[in-house]
Amino acid sequence: MKVIINNEMRDFQSIWMDEKNIINAIDQRKLPFSFEIFKAKTLDDTCFAIKEMVVRGAPLIGVTAAYGILQEALKFKGMDSNLFKEKISNAKTKLSKTRPTAVDLFNVLERVTKKLDLVKSISENVAIIRNITRDIVQETIEECEKIGIFGNDLIQNGKSSIMTICNAGALATVDYGTALAPIRKAHEEGKKIIVYVNETRPRIQGGRLTAWELFNEGIEHYIIVDSAAGHLIKNRKIDLVITGADRIALNGDTANKIGTYTLSVLCKENNIPFYIAAPKSTFDRKTKTGKEITIEERDGKEVQTALGINDKKDIEAKRIIIHNLNSKNLNPAFDVTPAENITGIITPQGILKQPLADSIKQFLLKNSEYA
């Protein structure tokens, strides 16, 4: 992704592992007010990064977990294969408890560890984990680029207005993004587009992160309060809505950032195309419908406070209280959009169309990596 630092344009991935086996990630808690790299040197650091949203976005959570397993494998000292397997198993368990809704976390952990073999040497097993992690990182990037190509076909050559929610860009993956991938591709091709970014309370991932990415890319956009979406959609200001996903059930029900369901209802009521964009790792082979998806309930303090600065000269962001201190706060982080509200799902292999249950079944038959 393009990042402007001190008026200089630079290219970054959202996460990488350096030569010292330290996991480096753009600290998304600090954006857009400061650009900092979080360094995870231990498994506890990596779990903290996922749980406390240093990293976030379903595909990136999965990649981070893969790096966490690799980091533990590389640190292992000794020749006892059973102890090695136990160490990896404990790391997998610890990482799996960081966040409950994004299925990429669990799919990736299973993929990274299922080929371990006690008959093989520890060095061979470390190589297996390294190779699978490398494949996952590269596939995530390539899949997002393909999502961009297929999704771009939905964007008209004339001026198009596209709405999105939360952040499903490069920051939520490794590079390029899911919901933002078609937008990036359209921009690269010179299509005239305007993006309407729902600010996405309570953590403002739209206003802080998506807007930051679009600004760095030079893509025209407006940040809107979440409750303005209905007004714009009803008055035909929006041509298309594209969102990301944290988990897609076998019938097409999709969990995503809280407020996504509301957008889907507004689009259905006003006959506006509503698309989900997701890589293979976001499909859940074990969950039949959205009713089975666990919705993460986060700390109410996120609702009660907001991160901000006083003006452009202020680089020290502070979290301030914005609500009545005597009131309780409820903070579901996700909601589930029913399959019937979704026009289609943009994948790296094309757009899955209605009926989604049938399309997803055929899609999963072709992709066994996370089986």
Tell me the CATH number at 92.
1.20.120.420
Give CA separation, 259 vs 157, 213, 218, 333, in Å: 29, 21, 26, 9
pTM of the model: 0.96
In a domain? residue 371 = no
CA distance 371 to 368: 5
Structure-token pair, residue 19: 């030569």
Structure-token pair, residue 325: 């201190």
Range of the domain at 252: 150-365
Whether residues 136 and 182 share a domain: the answer is no
Whether residues 168 and 84 share a domain: the answer is no
Domain boundary pick from 112, 143, 174: 143
In a domain? residue 161 = yes
Q: How many CB atoms lie within 10 A of CB 223?
A: 18
- Could you tell me if residue 2 is left (phi over 0), alpha (psi between -120 and 50 degrees) or otherwise beta? beta
Distance of CA 193 to the CA centre of its chain: 23
CB 153 within 8 A of CB 359: no
DSSP labels, 155-224: S-SS-EEEEEES--SGGGSSSS-STHHHHHHHHHTT--EEEEEE--TTTTHIIIIIHHHHHHHT--EEEE
The values of phi and psi at residue 299, to 5°, are -55, 135
Count of CA atoms in the C-beta half-sphere (13 A) of 226: 17
CA distance 258 to 334: 4
**Which residues are known catalytic residues?**
246
DSSP labels, 135-160: HHHHHHHHHHHHHHHHHHTTS-SS-E
Q: What is the DSSP letter of 297?
A: B
CB 203 within 8 A of CB 209: no
Q: How many CB atoms lie within 10 A of CB 76?
A: 15
Whether residues 157 and 271 share a domain: the answer is yes
Q: Give 160's strand partners.
A: 193
Q: Can you state the angle between helices 43-51 and 81-96, rounded to 10 degrees?
A: 20
Task: Classify 238 as helix, strand or coil.
Answer: coil
Is the torsion defined by CA of 65, 66, 67, 69 positive or negative? positive
Task: Classify 3 as helix, strand or coil.
Answer: strand
Rg of the Cα atoms in the chain: 20
Which pLDDT belongs to residue 158?
A: 85
Give the CA angle between residues 70, 71, 72 to the nearest 5°. Answer: 90
Whether residues 18 and 73 share a domain: the answer is yes
Domain boundary pick from 143, 164, 188: 143
In a domain? residue 370 = no
Q: Tokens 């950032």 belong to which residue?
A: 257
Domain count, the chain: 2
Asked if the peptide bond before residue 279 counts as cis, ω within 30 degrees of 0, the response is no
Residue 281 belongs to a domain with what CATH number? 3.40.50.10470
Structure-token pair, residue 370: 């996370």
Whether residues 138 and 190 share a domain: the answer is no
Task: Classify 38 as helix, strand or coil.
Answer: strand
Whether residues 39 and 131 share a domain: the answer is yes
CA distance 188 to 17: 29
Whether residues 134 and 195 share a domain: the answer is no
Q: Give 297's strand partners.
A: 332
- Tens of pLDDT along the chain (371 residues) come to 999 888 889 999 999 999 999 999 999 999 999 999 999 999 999 999 999 999 999 999 999 999 999 999 999 998 899 999 999 999 999 999 999 999 999 999 999 999 898 789 999 999 999 999 999 999 999 999 999 999 999 999 888 999 999 999 999 999 999 999 999 999 999 999 999 999 999 999 999 999 999 999 999 999 999 999 999 999 999 999 999 999 999 999 999 999 999 999 999 999 999 999 999 999 999 999 999 999 999 999 999 999 999 888 887 899 999 999 999 999 999 999 999 999 999 999 999 999 999 999 999 999 987 76
Domain boundary pick from 90, 114, 143: 143
Give CA separation, 206 vs 56, 201, 257, 302, in Å: 13, 8, 11, 15
Give CA separation, 356 vs 60, 63, 173, 359, 360, in Å: 25, 27, 24, 5, 6
Whether residues 184 and 331 share a domain: the answer is yes
Which pLDDT belongs to residue 371?
A: 67
